[in-house]
Each structure stands twice: as structure tokens, then as C-alpha cells.
Amino acid sequence: MNADQVINKILTEAQQQADEISRKASDNSALQKRQTEEELADYRAKTDQLAAEAGEDKLRRMLANARMGNAKQLLAAKVEILDDVFGRAKKAVNDLPDEDYLSWAMAMMKQAVESGDEEVIVGKDEKRIDSEFIKKVNRELGTGFKGNLILSSEKDSFSGGFVLSRGKVQINATTDVMIDALRESMEIELSQGLFGSE
């Protein structure tokens, strides 16, 4: 083999090795590209899934907040309606015609009296419960009671009804307290009647 043949053989073998290296590099590059594309597709799918879950979670939170806000507004409206109903009830009792108001006051006083010698405190604007009315109550108290109720010279800031006072014990029969007690006992039932069971 002459020098040209040896050089050609070396060049041919070098070319074959270069082609083999290039083919392997190309195969390797294709494999890496395919793996990278698969990883990228998997990453995109996971990212899309996480974004969708985050969006759903955010939507759920927004809906829950909206429902809570609506429930608060509805409750506030219901409370306002009940306040109005019971406010009108207080006014209605205080605005009763004299005969009806005094009949109500008589029944309440006879029920509230414990000994018959309490002091009766009325509101500062009360004109209907007077000493004549107290005398009438004393006559109607009946057996077991002293019949010595007296009208106090002290007047309080409530609008209707009365307070019975004996020593340190007071029985509050003002319209505010009576209607508030009635409200407590009736509020659930009245709410269901007005607003239904929700």
C-alpha cells in the first residue's frame, strides 16, 4: 500500500467514524429533543391542571364569600323588619285608648304585685297611671295582698308601663321590657312565619 492508499484508508475510516459520531449525536439529539418535548408537554399539562384547580378554588371562595355577604344582608333585612314590627308593637301599646291601656296596666300590675305594698314608678310622661288608678288596683288586689301600693313621686325615662319597687327589689313591667321579653319568646316562630324556613 502506497502512501496515498494509506491516507485514503485513514481518511475513509475517519469519515466513517465521523459519520458514526454524527449519527449517534443526531440520534442522541433526537432522543433528548423528544424527552424534552415530553417533559414540556407534561409540565404544560400539570400547569394547566394547577391553573384550573386554582381557578376553581378561587371561584369557590368567591361564591362562598358572595353567599355569606348575601346571607348577612338578608339577616340584616330580617332584623330590621323584626325591629320595625316590635317597635310598632311598643308604640301600639303606648298609643292604646285610655280605657284599653289602663285595663292592660291593671292586669299587668295585678300579676306583678308580690306583697301589695310596693311603690309604683311610672314614666316621666305618664298621665294615665295616677293615684286614682293605684287606689283602684289596691281595691282589686284581693286577699293575700296588703293593698298598699303607692304612686312614687319619682318618675323614670321609659315611655309606657311601670316599675314596682320594694326595697332593693324591682319588677320591671315597662312596655320596652315586656315587648322585648315577648320578642325573645316569639322571635324564632315569628321569623319562620314571616320568612319561611330557609
- Single out the residue of 136, 134, 168 nearest to residue 151, CA to CA: 134
The one-letter amino acid code at 195 reads F
- How far apart CA 76 and CA 195 sit, in angstroms, is 13
pLDDT of residue 3: 65
DSSP the chain: --HHHHHHHHHHHHHHHHHHHHHHHHHHHHHHHHHHHHHHHHHHHHHHHHHHHHHHHHHHHHHHHHHHHHHHHHHHHHHHHHHHHHHHHHHHHHTS-HHHHHHHHHHHHHHH-SSS-PEEEEETT--SS-HHHHHHHHHHS-TTS----EEEEEEES-SSEEEEEETTEEEEEEHHHHHHHHHHHHHHHHHHHHH---
pLDDT of residue 136: 92
- How far apart CA 90 and CA 174 sit, in angstroms, is 10
pLDDT tens string, the chain, 198 residues long: the values are 666 676 667 667 767 877 777 788 777 877 888 888 888 888 888 888 888 888 888 888 888 888 888 878 887 887 788 888 888 888 888 888 999 999 999 999 998 888 888 999 999 888 999 999 999 998 888 777 777 888 998 888 888 889 999 989 999 999 888 888 888 877 777 667 666 655
For residues 124 and 156, is the Cβ–Cβ distance under 8 A?
A: yes
